[in-house]
Amino acid sequence: MNPTFNFHEFKTANRLPSPSGTALEIMKLLQRDDVEINQVAQLIKLDPALSGRILQFANSAASGANRVISNISDAIIMMGMNAAKNFALSLSLIGNDSYSRCPGFDYSTYWSRSLAIAVAITCLSVRERVISSEEAFTLGLLSDIGRLALATAWSESYGECIFAHGTELLRLEQERFATDHNALTLMLLADWGFSSVFLEALKLSFNEPNTENPSKVSKFAQQLKFARQIANYCVADEGYRAVLMPELLIESALHTFDVHELDALIDDVLKQWYEWGKLINVKTDTRQSSPEFFSDLNNNGLSGFNILVVDDDPTMLTRLSRQLTAAGHQVATCKDGHAALKHALEYKPDLIVTNWHMKPMDGIELSKTLHSSTWGSSIYIIMLTSASEESALVKAFSAGIDDYVTTPLNLKVLLARIRAGQRIINLQREVEAERKDLQRYIAKLAVANRRLELMANTDVLTGLSNRRYSMNRLEQAWTEALHSNTPLSVLMLDLDHFKSVNDSLGHDAGDLVLIHTAKIMRKCMRANDIPCRLGGEEFLVIAPNTDSKNALVLAEYIRQMIERNQVENVQLLKPMTVSIGVACSRNGKPTWKELMTLSDEALYAVKRNKRNAVQLAV
């Protein structure tokens, strides 16, 4: 961490992106008061690549030229000398391969997005002219140059920060370097001679520009903010573009674009972005799932894992903890295997990154212990090891590790392995969630099936078992009685004079009588008796383990209860009574079908006589 930041010391140390060749000579030349256009043109002509790109830009739709520009002098007149200088400056930075390579910094995506910002702000300047499109292009291209500067000046240290985003990234940069990429961008552009109007607008665009302020600075700041949103859309994949579109629609409304105009603007930006990419050798085929390194995990409900880092080296623990925290994870640390076991048992981390060689318990023993337990077998383990021999790796995987990273440690590789582990853990969780969902579905389906079965076997009016169920249950009871050598009796019931109830009082009254009769029958039933409604006014009682004598007692009890408990609120012409026929089977004779026939014959014998009586089949 640097306590203070001195830009002049930073410059003299040659630790930042610097213009070179023709661009540097142009910058020196334009510091003179007597410089002429032909002098600048002669310098540009010395660089064929720069000459071609300036002519290409001068004849592009963005420049607004109404005739073909065929020479450098005309191009400079059209663009202006300052714009030509800035254009040469920006292109020299793109073509400069002398930067220190920062681990994890995606140079290709950086320039692709920067070019998209340049094209977007140019297109916006053409539609709503606040500054010249030539100047807008250059400022857009360099509007995030501070990130490249930090990656160049502190290539190793900055690699530990770049996986953070937004305010968290700015905080980490200030903590480590006493400046941040936004502030450094403004310092570099001021040093390279960009006007104060541009710098003030760019600074304002990093925050929230005042949409009510009609000043030139405020309007250009709004355009820069909008251009960055369009650039994010350009480098996003199809899925993430759908997420970004609502924000684009909101921002476009501030610039009085309707939906169709926004679509046309985006199409124009994409087309010119591809063309410029070919012209200045910037890749435009890079796509990101989100503007953050781990946002694909956020969108899948995995915004960051609980990771336990185990190492007996305090420096390594501190470094990994900071790096993984910056990458969006919740990180805990332990200095040996014993402490890690205790922590894992209590907190159940999603993933463990452990060193191999530690005392008293090393990474191999830790992995064995975890995977031998039910609670630890699902924890994903990444081993840090200097060993690359086949036998050593086989030993590690046999102990239960899931992946490994060789040391000296490459953070980018470790993060890639963690993401791979996250995908596996995510799939395991999805499978487990689907398994639980399936279990819940099966349970609900079983309940639904039981309800359907109950509905299929139940008389809707009375709630008693219906004819379908009674026939199946009677056959089953007869088979059970045969096997257990116990008697089985059936009672066939028929309400007396029930037809007169329906004819004189209506079917509603008849239904009340049937419901009342069913309630009385239930009260009369013993534990194993099964009351059923066969249809109309006919009922059946299946009486397992009941001989003919006890069946007659039960039948008489039912008859008396029905006679004594008349239905209320129905003015019957005659008191409700019931006739009952009884039949009994022993040792399988008669059969269950014959039981039905015999009980039915006994019932009708009662009906032919005085009714309201009980009779046993002969």
Report the CATH number at residue 375: 3.40.50.2300
Is pLDDT at 15 greater than 70 in this prediction? no
In a domain, 448, yes or no: no
Strand 488-495 with 530-535, pairing = unpaired
Per-residue pLDDT band at 252 (split at 50, 70, 90): confident
In a domain, 436, yes or no: no
Tell me how many domains the chain contains. Answer: 4
Sorted by sequence, the CB contacts under 8 Å of residue 417 that are 6+ apart come out as 382, 403, 405
Q: Which of 39-43, 277-281, 355-359, 604-608 is most confident?
A: 604-608
Return the pLDDT at 302.
Answer: 43
* Contact of 55 with 69, CB cutoff 8 Å: yes
Higher pLDDT, 437 or 62: 437
Per-residue pLDDT band at 558 (split at 50, 70, 90): very high
Return the pLDDT at 327.
Answer: 77
Please identify which residue in the block is written with the tokens 């541009």: 198
In a domain, 476, yes or no: yes
Quick check: helix, strand or coil at residue 58? helix
Structure tokens at 574: 């005659």
546 shares a domain with 562: yes
Please identify which residue in the block is written with the tokens 């993933």: 351
Is pLDDT at 534 greater than 90 in this prediction? yes
Whole-number Å distance between alpha carbons of 323 and 408: 15
333 shares a domain with 272: no
Per-residue pLDDT band at 272 (split at 50, 70, 90): confident
CA distances from 399 to 311, 363, 375, 385 (A): 18, 9, 16, 14
264 shares a domain with 131: yes
Return the pLDDT at 511.
Answer: 92
595 shares a domain with 487: yes
* Contact of 492 with 540, CB cutoff 8 Å: yes
Query: How much is the average pLDDT of 186-213?
Result: 81
Higher pLDDT, 279 or 98: 279
In a domain, 418, yes or no: yes
Per-residue pLDDT band at 8 (split at 50, 70, 90): low
Structural domain of 146: 102-296
Whole-number Å distance between alpha carbons of 37 and 447: 88
Is pLDDT at 408 greater than 90 in this prediction? no
Last residue of a domain, one of 42, 72, 98: 98
Query: How much is the average pLDDT of 362-377?
Result: 84
Query: How much is the average pLDDT of 97-121?
Result: 78
Candidate from 160-164, 388-392, 444-448 with smallest mean pLDDT:
160-164
Look up residue 312 and give its DSSP letter: S
107 shares a domain with 81: no
270 shares a domain with 131: yes
Sorted by sequence, the CB contacts under 8 Å of residue 487 that are 6+ apart come out as 481, 545, 546, 547, 548, 584, 585, 586
Candidate from 404-408, 459-463, 589-593 with smallest mean pLDDT:
404-408
221 shares a domain with 131: yes
Is pLDDT at 538 greater than 90 in this prediction? yes
Strand 306-310 with 330-334, pairing = parallel
Closest CA to 459 of 401, 525, 540, 393: 540
Is pLDDT at 7 greater than 80 in this prediction? no
Closest CA to 386 of 298, 316, 295: 316
Query: How much is the average pLDDT of 192-206?
Result: 85
In a domain, 183, yes or no: yes
Return the pLDDT at 517.
Answer: 94
Return the active site residues: 537
Per-residue pLDDT band at 210 (split at 50, 70, 90): low
Is pLDDT at 96 greater than 70 in this prediction? no
Return the pLDDT at 65.
Answer: 62
Per-residue pLDDT band at 428 (split at 50, 70, 90): confident
270 shares a domain with 145: yes
200 shares a domain with 263: yes
Return the pLDDT at 293.
Answer: 39
* pLDDT tens by residue, 463-504: 999 999 999 999 999 999 999 999 999 999 999 999 888 888
Return the pLDDT at 294.
Answer: 41
Per-residue pLDDT band at 167 (split at 50, 70, 90): confident
In a domain, 4, yes or no: no
In a domain, 337, yes or no: yes
* Contact of 385 with 391, CB cutoff 8 Å: no
Sorted by sequence, the CB contacts under 8 Å of residue 443 that are 6+ apart come out as none
Query: How much is the average pLDDT of 373-383?
Result: 84
pTM over 0.75: no
* Contact of 104 with 419, CB cutoff 8 Å: no
CA distances from 529 to 470, 472, 525, 532, 589 (A): 12, 15, 6, 10, 20
Last residue of a domain, one of 381, 413, 429: 429
Return the pLDDT at 452.
Answer: 85
Q: How many residues does the chain have?
A: 618
Strand partners, 541: 491, 531
478 shares a domain with 382: no
Lay out the sheet containing 351-355: strands in order across. Answer: 330-334, 306-310, 351-355, 380-385, 403-406
Structure tokens at 529: 């008796």
Return the pLDDT at 514.
Answer: 94
* pLDDT tens by residue, 280-337: 778 888 777 654 434 444 444 445 788 999 998 888 888 888 888 877 788 899 988 8
CATH number at residue 216: 1.10.3210.10
In a domain, 425, yes or no: yes
Per-residue pLDDT band at 244 (split at 50, 70, 90): confident
Is pLDDT at 205 greater than 70 in this prediction? yes
327 shares a domain with 289: no
Q: pLDDT over 70 for what percent of the chain?
A: 86
Whole-number Å distance between alpha carbons of 289 and 306: 22
Last residue of a domain, one of 81, 98, 115: 98
Candidate from 11-25, 70-84, 479-493, 570-584 with smallest mean pLDDT:
11-25
Return the pLDDT at 614.
Answer: 95
Backbone angles phi, psi at 80, to 5 degrees: 95, 145
135 shares a domain with 91: no
The per-residue pLDDT of the chain, averaged, comes to 82
Look up residue 586 and give its DSSP letter: B
